[in-house]
Structure 1
Amino acid sequence: MAANASVNIRTVQRFEAGQPINVISRRALAKALGYDNPDTFDDPKFAQSVLEVFDGLKTMQQKDLDDQHPDHVRIKARAVVSGQEAAKFADEINAISFTIDEGLADEAKAPGASFCDYVQDLMDVDDVPISSRLGFAKDLGGILQDLTQQGASVYAATRDRKFRGAHWGDQPALEMTVGYLVVVPADRENC
């Protein structure tokens, strides 16, 4: 669509996401899509119906992806924007999985790894005074700030799991909260 409308891909992405684009781009997209009226997208009712079509397409694409990978479980991730949030995340989890996105700039990979290591170390610490925890949160906040300056974002998610051995008999299942920490380029919207 971007090539047919002579606009860049980011313009199409903003349009699909319902973000504002300039009138010239809206008219070019209307023409590329075959509409006679170049101001079609300025009609609020029409614009809403187009956005609903895009939402429907995204839902179908997501369902296709889920069908291709039935063993994958989708969990909601949240942006980690402060050291306090990172420290709280470390307190909530019993096990952790880290991902440093390959698309991340090289200069952001080292602080990304340091952030992940720090969260894991903090996760393993017990009986620490509040003053020390505040210091840990401040350190994590500094690393987060460095990551932001390097064009990276950090997302976290948790999932409660119960593990049970085949030969455990009447023993209760082992309950754990598994944490997922992802460092990605800041312009990436989905993790």
Structure 2
Amino acid sequence: MNTTLLDPKVLGFWARCVRETQHLSQEALAANASVNIRTVQRFEVGQPINVTSRRALAKALGYDKPDIFDDPKFIESVLGFFDGLKTMQQKNLDDEHPDHVRIGAQPVASGQEAAKFADVINAVSFSIDEGLHDNTKALAASFCDYVQDLMDLDDVPMSSRLGFAKELDGILQDLRENGASVYSATRDRKFRNDSWGDAPALEMTVGYLVIVPADRQLTQLYIPRRARLG
């Protein structure tokens, strides 16, 4: 673990948590540290302050060492705390979805990425957030339909692929202008049916395309642990 630097925003958030745990207002902390309140506010949002003020705030928050914020052991303990908190939050989310599996999601930033997504999957599941406006939902549906159509095409010349990517770029731009973001994920699956006898399982790459309001940032999706082919 790299303990040489602590992100100023992480340090500021930590300092705010310590202050609030001690039931101190920003005004009270500023008075205890003999700094102005703007210094406290800048520090807690991760903006730079001078070394003298950092040391004064450390003392006012109850730390004996004036340079505690730069101490490797302190930094390691803070990072460890947030890592543990993140792990606990993730476990709580997993417990809320016992019949689902978590997979990584990434934003679809270009028409080329969308076309490549359509090219590598064998089946797809679409999801359009209910919170989007009706016009945005219509755009999202057209984007999904376009990806679905691309999945059904074989032996497409490169010139056509470039044209498809450009058209998808246009729809993506319209979605962004209407406050929506597109995310994708894939999962390799094996499907079989009892009626298949000794036939091998059907191996497929299933794609997931999710369109949500732009203020939602997704890094993962929860999808059903078991799925059936229609």
The question of a shared fold, defined as TM-score above 0.5 by the shorter chain, is answered with: yes
Aligned to 2:137: 109
Aligned to 1:31: 19
What's the Cα RMSD here?
2.8
**Based on CA coordinates, which of the two structures has the bigger radius of gyration?**
2
Aligned partners of 1:157 and 1:180 also within 8 Å: yes
Aligned partners of 1:87 and 1:122 also within 8 Å: yes
Aligned to 1:20: 9
Question: How far apart, in 2, do the equivalents of 1:153 and 1:19 lie?
Answer: 29
1:33–1:78 distance in 2 versus 1, CA, 3 Å: same
Aligned to 2:128: 100
Question: How far apart, in 1, do the equivalents of 2:150 and 2:110 lie?
Answer: 15
1:171–1:22 distance in 2 versus 1, CA, 3 Å: closer
Question: How far apart, in 2, do the equivalents of 1:179 and 1:48 lie?
Answer: 39
Aligned to 2:65: none
Instruction: Choose from 148, 151, 158 the match for 1:123.
Output: 151
Aligned to 1:43: 69
Question: Per-residue deviation at 1:54?
Answer: 2.7
1:129–1:71 distance in 2 versus 1, CA, 3 Å: same
Aligned partners of 1:80 and 1:154 also within 8 Å: yes
Q: Please state whether the residue corresponding to 1:75 is helix, strand or coil.
A: strand
Question: TM-score scaled by structure 2?
Answer: 0.65
Question: How far apart, in 1, do the equivalents of 2:205 and 2:86 lie?
Answer: 30
Quick check: 1:158 aligned with 2:186? yes
1:65–1:124 distance in 2 versus 1, CA, 3 Å: same
Q: How many aligned residue pairs are there?
A: 173
Q: Please state whether the residue corresponding to 2:83 is helix, strand or coil.
A: helix
Gaps of 5+ in 1: 1-17
Q: Please state whether the residue corresponding to 2:190 is helix, strand or coil.
A: strand
Question: How far apart, in 2, do the equivalents of 1:146 and 1:22 lie?
Answer: 38
Question: How far apart, in 2, do the equivalents of 1:89 and 1:146 lie?
Answer: 19
Q: Deviation per CA, 1:51-106, whole angstroms, max 9, x where unpaired?
A: 43233122112112223423211111111101000000000011100111123344
Aligned to 2:117: 89
Question: How far apart, in 2, do the equivalents of 1:179 and 1:21 lie?
Answer: 35
Aligned to 2:88: 60
Question: TM-score scaled by structure 1?
Answer: 0.77
Question: How far apart, in 1, do the equivalents of 2:8 and 2:205 lie?
Answer: 36
Q: Deviation per CA, 1:110-157, whole angstroms, max 9, x where unpaired?
A: 211111111111111222221111110000011111111222211100
Gaps of 5+ in 2: 1-6, 34-39, 41-56, 62-67, 221-230
Aligned partners of 1:90 and 1:119 also within 8 Å: yes
Identity of aligned pairs, percent? 65
Aligned to 2:4: none
